[in-house]
């Protein structure tokens, strides 16, 4: 059998294949009234079409644990029961198709309150329906962005509780995987990196202090997430600062990620979703096919923690080779699944694998 189509088990949950859908914001929720942050017909169509296409796991996009945690006013949220109820329909349909339903829970930190990308992505101020961002330190993401409010220790603990509440709601909605978003320069990643965390209290300075908030979130989520279901963590393996030799800023590195993977495993994380970048503006990132796979490979090889690889994985044979060579345990596809919701079906035909087929599509099986 194709390695890409071998089932994969974490705790008591078995994924039918290793082709997974990465969380990708759609910026398509209502931004006012009772529909704020609630998944709608667009989200249902978007996610269920990839399930009908044979994707083994679908991770719903970054879903905010509080209104202030949204990247944009049009982001999804999971801080109330109206949102939870709306997610039930999506999670149930994914399971009906044999796809594992997962969700990424997140807080955008200093990168919150921005416009939709196709409208320019600029900061949205309170006068235009936005809000004041918060962060570990009063450092804007880049020129032209607001200076965020520095979180107090009491506010930090409140956000830890919001992550736990979001995980409870995710479970009630029917999701079987929850992923904590610690990547791409959002709040948890901001705490991890010395580039964005200049605190001098118990949440800043040393590696142990900078990772404290992330581990407190993981502990709080793991405490309410069933033992039989897996917990993922998404990380940016590097800020791409040390790789830019003419940049004297200090950031999070690949070695930090390997070290932190050991900590995450001891706190109950079952898989590391390894991406990169997003925390430091205007850095050079040497993109190319599979350019982030070595980060996932290093974590897996040096710690034994299962990993998922991301980053310009676009061809069935390319994905097959990553799994077959043991460089990662799964591949998370983003843009390729936007282009081709049926990637898994096409890959199965090319590689000799198999995916389930909706009864209504039996003539194409």
Of 270-279, 299-308, 354-363, give the lowest mean pLDDT range: 354-363
Whether the CB-CB separation of 202 and 120 falls below 8 Å is answered with no
Q: Is the pLDDT of residue 296 over 60?
A: yes
Cβ-based neighbours of 10, under 8 Å, separated by 6 or more: 230, 270, 271, 306
For the entire predicted model, the pTM comes to 0.96
Whether the CB-CB separation of 237 and 254 falls below 8 Å is answered with yes
Closest CA to 86 of 129, 158, 28, 23: 28
Mean pLDDT to the nearest integer, 227-254:
86
Q: Is the pLDDT of residue 248 over 80?
A: no
Give the span between the Cα atoms of 193 and 346, in whole angstroms: 40
| pLDDT tens digits for range 55-93 | 999 999 999 999 999 999 999 999 999 999 999 999 999
Chain-centroid distance, C-alpha 132:
23
Quick count: other Cβ atoms within 10 Å of Cβ 218? 25
Q: Is the alpha carbon torsion for 292, 317, 19, 111 positive or negative?
A: positive
Give the span between the Cα atoms of 48 and 360, in whole angstroms: 14
Which of 186, 291, 342, 361 does the annotation list as catalytic? 186
Q: Is the alpha carbon torsion for 274, 280, 286, 287 positive or negative?
A: positive
Q: Is the pLDDT of residue 242 over 80?
A: no
186 a catalytic residue: yes
| pLDDT tens digits for range 118-162 | 999 999 999 999 999 999 999 999 999 999 999 999 999 999 999
- Tell me what pLDDT residue 244 has: 61
Mean pLDDT to the nearest integer, 15-30:
97
Band of residue 243 on the pLDDT scale cut at 50, 70, 90: low
- Tell me what pLDDT residue 361 has: 85
Band of residue 363 on the pLDDT scale cut at 50, 70, 90: confident
DSSP state of 339: H
Give the span between the Cα atoms of 311 and 335, in whole angstroms: 9
Closest CA to 136 of 157, 113, 152: 152
Mean pLDDT to the nearest integer, 26-31:
94
Q: Is the pLDDT of residue 108 over 90?
A: yes
Polymer length of the chain: 365
Q: Which two tokens stand for residue 82?
A: 């109206």
Give the span between the Cα atoms of 303 and 293, in whole angstroms: 16
Q: Which two tokens stand for residue 30?
A: 């209502």
Whether the CB-CB separation of 106 and 63 falls below 8 Å is answered with yes
Q: Is the pLDDT of residue 302 over 90?
A: yes
Domains of the chain: 3-358 (3.20.20.70)
Mean pLDDT of the chain: 96
Give the span between the Cα atoms of 75 and 354, in whole angstroms: 35
Give the span between the Cα atoms of 62 and 106, in whole angstroms: 6
Range list of β-strands (E), 72-182: 100-106, 134-135, 149-150, 177-182
- Tell me what pLDDT residue 247 has: 58
Q: Which two tokens stand for residue 221?
A: 């989520």
Per DSSP, helices labelled H in 7-120 are: 41-52, 81-96
Band of residue 246 on the pLDDT scale cut at 50, 70, 90: low
Q: Is the pLDDT of residue 249 over 80?
A: no
Give the span between the Cα atoms of 255 and 349, in whole angstroms: 39
**Three-state DSSP class for residue 127:** helix
């Amino acid at each position: 059998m194709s390695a890409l189509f071998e089932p994969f088990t974490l705790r008591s949950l078995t994924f039918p294949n290793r082709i997974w859908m990465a969380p990708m914001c759609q910026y398509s929720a209502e931004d006012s009234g009772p529909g704020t942050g609630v998944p709608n017909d667009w989200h249902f169509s978007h996610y269920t079409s990839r399930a009908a296409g044979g994707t083994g796991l679908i991770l719903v996009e970054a879903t905010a644990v509080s209104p202030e945690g949204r990247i944009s006013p049009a982001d999804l949220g999971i801080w109330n029961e109206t949102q939870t109820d709306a997610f039930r329909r999506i999670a149930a349909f994914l399971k009906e198709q044999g796809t594992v339903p997962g969700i990424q829970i997140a807080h955008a930190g200093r990168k919150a309150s921005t416009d939709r990308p196709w409208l320019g992505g600029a900061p949205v101020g309170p006068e235009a329906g936005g809000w004041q961002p918060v962060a570990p330190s009063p450092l804007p993401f880049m020129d032209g962005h607001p200076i965020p409010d520095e979180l107090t220790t009491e506010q930090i603990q409140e956000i830890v509780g919001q992550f736990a509440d979001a995980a409870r709601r995710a479970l009630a909605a029917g999701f079987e995987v929850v992923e904590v978003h610690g990547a791409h320069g959002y709040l948890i990643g901001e705490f991890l990196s010395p580039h964005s965390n200049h605190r001098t209290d118990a949440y800043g300075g040393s590696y142990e202090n900078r990772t404290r908030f992330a581990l407190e979130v993981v502990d709080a989520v793991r405490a309410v997430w069933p033992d039989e279901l897996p917990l993922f963590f998404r990380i940016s393996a590097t800020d791409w600062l040390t790789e830019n030799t003419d940049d004297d800023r200090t950031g999070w590195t690949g070695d930090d990620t390997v070290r932190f993977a050991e900590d995450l495993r001891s706190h109950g994380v079952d898989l590391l979703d390894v991406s990169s970048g997003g925390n430091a503006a205007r850095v050079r990132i040497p993109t190319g096919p599979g350019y982030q796979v070595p980060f996932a490979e290093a974590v897996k090889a040096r710690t034994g923690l299962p990993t998922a690889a991301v980053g310009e994985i676009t061809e069935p044979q390319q994905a097959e080779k990553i799994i077959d060579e043991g460089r990662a345990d799964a591949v998370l596809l983003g843009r390729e699944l936007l282009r081709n919701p049926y990637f898994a079906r096409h890959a199965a035909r090319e590689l000799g694998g198999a995916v389930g087929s909706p009864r209504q599509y039996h003539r194409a099986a």
